[in-house]
Amino acid sequence: MRLSSVVSIGGVIYGYTCNGVDVLPLHTMIRTRIPIPSFIGDCLCKCHFVLDNLCYLVVEEVCQGIGAWERVPRRYTLCLDPERPYEGYVDLSIPTPAMWNTLTPQQPRGDTFYGVSREGCVVSFKRGVGWSNTHCVVSHGKEPRLEWRTVSVYPLGSLLLISQSFVGEHPWSLYDTISGEVAALPNKHFSCGKVFYPDLAVLDDCTPESFSFHYIDPALVYPHPGMRWGIIPPGAVVTEHDV
């Protein structure tokens, strides 16, 4: 089970696995399972997030058989009301973009969820509106089977810190949710997938023999708690400290 497929709300953990969602209330630790709609068939979870106390699950059909690579997989945005678990995940029947696996270490702020499309464009979802696609392209690697990789989107005030996990250096970008502008940051040898809040500590576990933390400059949080603006030299965004 990938971290990008797990969310929590109201003391309950929801984790996608094998065409269904395992539900684990922390006060009972008794696991139950909610199947996804049967008409979807085998699928992969692209992202799982919470907005307005509702769980949203984005899945993509797994194409199989002769000519599978030439087919365009169907994509669905599903919604679960935790107050009505018996209704299960309901298909919203809306156009859903082709996305990379999106990990948001911290739940979205406000009424919008952000992800990254296969073309590297920032996409957003709002309840009652659906998906919107921007023309802003963030830095992203290009390698075969990239659709199996994970993009990390971390909210920092009105900014999104975006990185991607793949072999070699990881491209980093900043996206301003107000202006819609994108800034490319220096590549790192680690992604921002495992972030500890509020310390803004990024865990680098690429090599199991030596774990280390990297710290996001708090001045990047916009607005900064000290009333400073988040304008700093790009090279100073992340500093490295061994544990």
pLDDT at 210: 65
Residue 155 within a domain: no
Residue 140 within a domain: no
Across the range 195-222, mean pLDDT stands at: 70
Query: What percent of the chain is modeled with pLDDT above 90?
Result: 19
pLDDT in tens, 75-123: 999 999 999 988 999 999 999 998 887 777 666 667 889 888 888 888 9
Q: Report whether 122 contacts 168 (CB < 8 A).
A: no
Q: Rounded to whole angstroms, how far apart are CA atoms 146 and 81?
A: 32
Residue-range definition of the domain harbouring residue 91 = 1-96
pLDDT in tens, 119-128: 888 899 999 8
* Of the listed ranges 112-116, 164-168, 185-189, 235-239, the one predicted with least confidence: 235-239
Across the range 122-139, mean pLDDT stands at: 87
Comparing CA positions, the residue from 159, 177, 166 lying closest to residue 222 is 159
Confidence class for position 186, pLDDT limits 50, 70, 90: confident
Across the range 11-18, mean pLDDT stands at: 85
pLDDT in tens, 38-66: 888 788 888 888 888 899 999 988 877 66
> Residue 24: pLDDT above 50?
yes
Comparing CA positions, the residue from 106, 104, 102 lying closest to residue 118 is 102
pLDDT at 116: 87
Residue 80 within a domain: yes
Confidence class for position 222, pLDDT limits 50, 70, 90: low
Q: Rounded to whole angstroms, how far apart are CA atoms 115 and 218?
A: 23
One-letter amino acid at 63 equals C
Q: Report whether 15 contacts 3 (CB < 8 A).
A: no
Residue 160 within a domain: no
Across the range 200-204, mean pLDDT stands at: 76
pLDDT at 4: 54
Residue 114 within a domain: no
Total domains in the chain come to 1
| Token pair belonging to 160 | 């999104």
Q: Report whether 162 contacts 174 (CB < 8 A).
A: yes
Q: Rounded to whole angstroms, how far apart are CA atoms 169 and 148?
A: 17
Residue 227 within a domain: no
Average pLDDT, the chain: 77
> Residue 14: pLDDT above 60?
yes
Q: Is the dihedral of CA 130, 80, 114, 180 positive or negative?
A: positive
Confidence class for position 209, pLDDT limits 50, 70, 90: low
Q: Rounded to whole angstroms, how far apart are CA atoms 35 and 56?
A: 14
Residue with the larger pLDDT of the pair 65 and 233: 65
Residue 50 within a domain: yes
> Residue 175: pLDDT above 90?
no
Residue 161 within a domain: no
pLDDT at 227: 40
